[in-house]
């Protein structure tokens, strides 16, 4: 009996990108804190964490995301202050104070159908600014960003893929309403190496 070859897979994720100037501000914080992920992951609100998928599923996944996008309208997000997942996880983040319910509903819809998967933690929309850093760097992030405040509109979400170099790159944007037609990633990611 000949064993079948394993299916070729790739790692994808789905997220709401943080627009300028806020994306650069938060990425700058991550870089100054010495977070090695700063150059591989642009600031974002995760809707689907890194997930391996079979290559032949991509068309179905994109159609699923298009359909999800048609069922949502643009909404606003406001980020304010800082918080941490310590002691459960060594993460400091900027929490959402507006747009939480919309992100929760969107995450549920994205993580269904061909993207149905179990997650380790209850969904909590946020923007990570420090992860797996020494305690003093985590404390600095938490205190220095305690007065952070940013508001912006959310027109849709983005499908990302992790390359062999571990950099997350935008693949397709899905706009809310209007058919949710996929398109190339917008220029808002042009200055970033990855997600």
Residue extents of the structural domains in the chain: 9-189
pLDDT at 150: 97
pLDDT at 121: 80
CATH superfamily of 9-189: Cyclic phosphodiesterase (3.90.1140.10)
Residue 62, Cβ neighbours under 10 Å: how many?
Answer: 16
Model's pTM, two decimal places?
Answer: 0.87
pLDDT at 6: 53
pLDDT at 180: 53
Q: Which residues of the chain have pLDDT under 50?
A: 1-2, 4, 187-195
Beta bridge partners of 183: 173
Q: How far is residue 64's CA from residue 186's CA, in Å, rounded to a whole number?
A: 20
pLDDT at 89: 86
């Amino acid at each position: 009996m000949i064993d079948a070859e394993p299916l070729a897979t790739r790692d994808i994720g789905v997220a709401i990108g943080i627009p300028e100037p806020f994306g650069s501000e938060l990425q700058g914080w991550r870089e100054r804190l010495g977070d090695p992920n700063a150059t591989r992951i642009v600031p974002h609100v995760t809707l689907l964490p890194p997930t391996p998928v079979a290559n032949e599923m991509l068309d179905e996944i994109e159609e699923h995301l298009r359909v999800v996008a048609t069922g949502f309208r643009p909404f606003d997000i406001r980020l304010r202050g800082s918080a941490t997942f310590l002691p459960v996880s060594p993460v400091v983040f900027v929490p959402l104070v507006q747009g939480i319910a919309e992100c929760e509903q969107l995450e549920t819809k994205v993580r269904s159908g061909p993207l149905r998967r179990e997650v380790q933690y209850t969904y909590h929309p946020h923007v990570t600014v420090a992860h797996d850093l020494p305690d003093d760097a985590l404390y600095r992030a938490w205190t220095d960003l305690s007065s952070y405040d940013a508001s912006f509109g959310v027109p849709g979400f983005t499908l990302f893929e992790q390359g062999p170099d571990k950099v997350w790159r935008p693949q397709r944007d899905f706009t809310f309403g209007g058919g949710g037609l996929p398109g190339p990633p917008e220029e808002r990611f042009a200055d970033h190496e990855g997600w």
